[in-house]
Structure 1
Amino acid sequence: MGLFDNKKYVVGPFMKVSDPALVEVAAFAGFDFVIIDLEHGPNSIQTIQNHVRAAQAKNIVPVVRVPEINENMISKALDIGAAYVQVPQIETASDAKRVVKAAKFFPEGSRGVCRYVRAADYASMPKENYFGDANKNTGVIIHIEGNIAFNNIDEILKVEGVDVIFIGPYDMSQSCGVPGQVNHPIVISQMKEIVEKASRLGKVVGTFVESPESAKQWIDLGVKYISYAVDVGIFYDACKGIVEKVNAQSLDCLAV
């Protein structure tokens, strides 16, 4: 799939806006991937097909976060061409195995078999090529987001077929009793422990950040999959910064 080829880390935003133009913008900006979000926000499988097309056209990796462990939704995300499927609220090794099973064809799983889909070029691709290559061309990312998952992390890390262990700091903070305090010592301690355990087993770890400083902190600790903020938040921060600078300059002029 090439996402991590010869790279110490990769960076990409969550995408909630329904216009795929922002996927193209993210590609032009130099991001490595986009996480097209079906868990939060207004999107559906139908609306995100063009997000996937835009990503592929501009050579940025399309990741689709589905709303839950749902075999049908996982299959649909991959059918429309997602390179990775990202699944939230994994709590046990059994949960992780369900995701892998839903995302992979035999012998690694039992994903629904259909070649009349976009991922198979609408049946124009030789079926031997499609079913033969699909397992190695699609990846699995699972979210570790709470104390139940934290307590089961050793068993979760043993599950074969998972490409990235993604730590969700906001849900982790809620599970730790400090909702929204993603830099609270308890949250940071649990996240670091997961990173250390995963790294010892050679597993790729990801997390969500909202500043370059936070990104550097986790990259230095060995995190390779950096989810940097959200399209709407990035736009808001940029707009707010512009307004504040314009207002500050105007006040300076009035003072003169």
Structure 2
Amino acid sequence: MKNKVKQKIMNGENVLGVFLGIFAPSLIEMIGYTGYDFVVIDDEHGAFSHSEIEDMVRAAELVDLVPIIRVSYDASSIQKALDRGAKGIQVPMVNTKEDAELVVKRAKFPPQGQRGAAFAIRAARFGMDGGESYFNESDENVLICVHIETPEAVQNFREIMSVSGIDMAFIGSTDLSVNMGYKAEGAQHPEVQQVIQELYKIGKEYGFKIGTVAANAQGALKGFELGASYIGITGTSVIMQALDQIVNETMKMDDKNRIL
């Protein structure tokens, strides 16, 4: 199956998805029914077993969502994500060209990479797919996205993106602000914003595809305006905002008119 998100990005189109760090296959179905392009199953910060990730991938495919996995720091995380059926990976804390090269090695089959080969896995339909065509299609379809979220990664941005096989850079604005020393002010600090603007500028100059995160529609629109083509909405933020709005609007009513 072709990776429609990768195809859209490479064709210059914008895509919108949702980050999800909780085990909730039904919520993934809801996300798909509302028209998003992809879901990021967050194995960096989320709490999942490998079998739960596989169930989340199944739920995404059921509603025509492209399943992307933000992998953990475990050395086997990329292999396991792709074997479960992920169509793309987001890899945190990629700080050097060598880091990016290692990502490609783990995500691609030989000769370009060193991904372990197996056919009795979900990604190969438990043995129904195989051979050279399976390897070629897997390598072609996987979306490889590296996170730029430290001053070192910013300094090495051009070198990281020059690595063959890297499709997109993801600006991790929260981690970037923390790693720049602005824990209190966060991503809105002027110096952090200046760095982010420079990354977008370089991206436009060199034709690098850029993704980022947003908490709401306004944030997503801003990201697209700056030049991002791939934006993930933080699912728990949306849910919490909606819950908070309802309880605040309800509790503002007096006791006589309150709806219980």
TM-score (norm. length: structure 1): 0.93
Cα drift, residue 247 of structure 1? 1.9
Q: Distance in 1 between matches of 2:119 and 2:14?
A: 33
Residue among 47, 61, 69 paired with 1:64? 69
Q: Distance in 2 between matches of 1:188 and 1:8?
A: 24
Cα drift, residue 49 of structure 1? 0.5
Amino acid at match of 1:29: T
Which one is further off, 154-163 or 94-103? 154-163
The corresponding residue for 2:154 is 150
Q: Indicate how the Cα distance of structure 1 residues 23 and 7 shifts in structure 2: closer, same or farther if over 3 A, else same.
A: farther
The corresponding residue for 2:240 is 236
Amino acid at match of 2:27: L
Q: Distance in 2 between matches of 1:144 and 1:135?
A: 23
The corresponding residue for 2:17 is 12
Q: Distance in 2 between matches of 1:68 and 1:18?
A: 19
Q: Indicate how the Cα distance of structure 1 residues 126 and 175 shifts in structure 2: closer, same or farther if over 3 A, else same.
A: closer
Cα drift, residue 107 of structure 1? 2.4
CA contact (8 A) 2:106 2:115 kept: yes
CA contact (8 A) 1:49 1:80 kept: yes
CA contact (8 A) 1:14 1:228 kept: yes
The corresponding residue for 1:54 is 59
Cα drift, residue 69 of structure 1? 6.5
The corresponding residue for 1:43 is 48
The corresponding residue for 2:164 is 160
> Does 1:217 pair with 2:219?
no
Question: Cα RMSD over matched residues?
Answer: 1.7
Residues 23-76 of structure 1 deviation map (CA, whole Å, 9 limit, x = unaligned): 111111221111101111211222110100011111011000111262x21011
Cα drift, residue 7 of structure 1? 6.2
Q: Indicate how the Cα distance of structure 1 residues 233 and 39 shifts in structure 2: closer, same or farther if over 3 A, else same.
A: same
The corresponding residue for 1:86 is 90
Secondary structure in 2 matching 1:90:
coil
Q: Distance in 1 between matches of 2:167 and 2:68?
A: 12
Q: How many residues align?
A: 252
Structure 2: 5+ residue stretches without partners: none
Cα drift, residue 199 of structure 1? 2.1
Residues 76-110 of structure 1 deviation map (CA, whole Å, 9 limit, x = unaligned): 10001000011100000100010011100122211
> Does 1:174 pair with 2:173?
no
The corresponding residue for 2:103 is 99
CA contact (8 A) 1:157 1:198 kept: no
Cα drift, residue 251 of structure 1? 5.8
CA contact (8 A) 1:69 1:87 kept: no
Structure 1: 5+ residue stretches without partners: none
TM-score (norm. length: structure 2): 0.91
> Does 1:248 pair with 2:233?
no
Amino acid at match of 2:4: G
The corresponding residue for 1:124 is 128
The sequence identity of aligned pairs, in percent, is 35
CA contact (8 A) 2:216 2:238 kept: no
Q: Distance in 2 between matches of 1:132 and 1:8?
A: 24
Secondary structure in 2 matching 1:75:
helix
CA contact (8 A) 1:38 1:44 kept: no
Q: Distance in 2 between matches of 1:124 and 1:76?
A: 19
